[in-house]
Amino acid sequence: MRDPDALIARAGVRGDPDHDQHFLVDDRVLDRLPTYLEEIDPDASHLLEIGGGTGALTDRLLALAGEDGAVTVVERDRDLAAFLREEFADAIDAGRLTVIEGDALEVDLPDFTASISNLPYGVSSEISFRLLPEGKPLVLMFQQEFAERMVAEPGTSEYGRLSVSTQHYADAELVETIPKEAFSPPPAVESAVVRLRPREPEYEVENEDFFLRFVKALFTQRRKTIRNAIRNTAHISGLEEPEAVVDAADDETLRKRADAMAPAEFAALAELALVESGLE
């Protein structure tokens, strides 16, 4: 495997904290990341990496994909994209690697089988919710606080809109905490790796856009009861008859707060809200 410090030297770059650029340089962490995917899905026929940097993880993903597999890297930095094309010219020529220069939120993504990525932390949420609806296994690195919120359970202080939205698409598991020293330059906070196993939710959602908007609305009033949150957030959820929803919901649910509601409870309430507001 290519040495991550040597890659940085060959690229002639330095990480830029002001632009959310921290290169993962710990070989042990880099070697472990692919194993988290192998444990849940051995299909590495087309791996997607968001934020290739100088290619330390790219090198490992090419090994995981094997001679018959492929890797696509999305890198927004023009100079780094050019370096990846030079450094991995043999893999590109063999049709095993594609480097896409551009913003991961804007470019067309390939039909990938799984993604392993050290995401740019400033856009972690946006990229995650572009990937999650694809229904593919994901191994993603985040700031630790963000990761803890993704995997949080109802009734905990970390549980919130991010928890519900993530767990709507996948089983989320925090598999490793990464110290600051694993990066160059070290970020201000520790990081964590989250493994996401795609699956269908155990509940029915008629209108996914409304469901996610409804969850967002109620969590803006997380210290209020659900009764008051429904009334106070109609401008966010789009409910035209919030009082009708309150009248139709059961008292036990209405007495709860958002941070005590499981995803299935949000789904049931959202379905009721659609019916009572005539949005179905």
Q: Residue 80: give its domain's CATH number.
A: 3.40.50.150
Percent of the chain with pLDDT over 70: 99
- Over residues 121-125, mean pLDDT: 92
Q: How many domains, the chain?
A: 2
Residues 120 and 255 in one domain: no
Q: Please check the confidence at residue 16 and state whether its pLDDT lies above 80.
A: no
pLDDT on residue 135? 96
Q: Is the dihedral of CA 227, 267, 169, 123 positive or negative?
A: negative
Predicted pLDDT at 15:
78
Domain contains 125: yes
Domain C-terminal end among 163, 198, 233: 198
Q: How far is CA 14 from the centre of its chain?
A: 26
Q: How do residues 196-219 score in pLDDT, each as one tens digit? A: 999 999 999 999 999 999 999 999
Mean pLDDT over 71-77 rounds to 97
Residue 20 shares a structural domain with residue 122: yes
Q: What is the pLDDT of residue 277?
A: 75
In this structure, the answer to whether residues 164 and 227 fall within a common structural domain is: no
pLDDT on residue 279? 65
Question: Is 278 a residue whose pLDDT tops 70?
Answer: no
Q: What is the pLDDT of residue 51?
A: 95
Is 219 contained in some domain?
A: yes
Is there a binding annotation on residue 51? yes
37 and 157 fall within a common domain: yes
- Tell whether 24 is in a known binding site: yes
Residue 153 CA from chain centroid, whole number: 17
Mean pLDDT of 110-135: 95
User: Same domain for 137 and 253?
Assistant: no
Is residue 138 pLDDT above 90, yes or no?
A: yes
Question: Is residue 9 a part of any domain in this protein?
Answer: yes
Residue at 15 is within a domain:
yes
CA distances to 146, 259, 276 from 233, rounded to whole Å, are 25, 16, 16
Domain limit, last residue, from 198, 232, 266: 198
Tokens of 34: 């692919």
Q: pLDDT-derived band of residue 44, with 50, 70 and 90 as boundaries?
A: confident
List, in sequence order, every residue forming a beta bridge with 117; answer none if it has no partner.
140
Q: Is the pLDDT of residue 232 over 80?
A: yes
Tokens of 235: 């401008």
Is 111 marked as binding a ligand?
A: no
Predicted confidence at residue 104, as pLDDT, reads 96
Least confident span in 2-16, 68-82, 172-186, 252-266: 2-16
**According to the model, what pLDDT value does residue 280 have?**
62
Q: Domain boundary residue among 142, 170, 198?
A: 198
pTM of the model: 0.94
Q: What is the pLDDT of residue 42?
A: 74
Q: Which two tokens stand for residue 202?
A: 């155990």
Q: Looking at the structure, do residues 92 and 140 belong to the same domain, yes or no?
A: yes
pLDDT of 126 over the 90 cut: yes
Mean pLDDT, the chain, whole residue set: 95
Domain annotation covers residue 22: yes
The answer as to whether 203 is a domain residue is no
Q: 22 among the known binding-site residues?
A: yes
Q: What is the domain range of residue 81?
A: 4-198
Distance from C-alpha of 90 to C-alpha of 129, rounded to nearest angstrom: 33
Q: Mapped to the 3 state alphabet, what secondary structure does 154-217 carry?
A: CCCCCCCHHHHHHHHHEEEEEEEEECHHHEECCCCCCEEEEEEEECCCCCCCCCHHHHHHHHHH
18 with 155, same domain: the answer is yes
For the purposes of burial, counting CB atoms within 10 Å of the CB of 12, is it exposed (0-12), middle (13-18) or buried (19 or more)? exposed
Q: Where are the alpha helices (DSSP H) in 39-131?
A: 56-65, 78-87, 89-93, 124-131
In a domain, 59, yes or no: yes
Residues 118 and 45 in one domain: yes
Residues 213 and 194 placed together within one structural domain of the fold: no
32 lies in the same domain as 126: yes
Is 118 annotated as contributing to ligand binding? yes
Task: Output the pLDDT for position 276.
Answer: 87
- Alpha-carbon distance of 193 to 172, in angstroms, equals 10
Q: For residue 103, say whether it is annotated as part of any ligand binding site.
A: yes
Please check the confidence at residue 79 and state whether its pLDDT lies above 80.
Answer: yes
Average pLDDT over residues 175-180: 97
Q: Terminus-to-terminus CA distance in the chain, angstroms?
A: 54
| Peptide bond connecting 242 to the previous residue in cis, omega within 30 degrees of 0 | no
Whether 235 and 182 map to the same domain: the answer is no
Tell whether 181 and 106 lie within a shared domain.
Answer: yes
d(CA 71, CA 77): 18
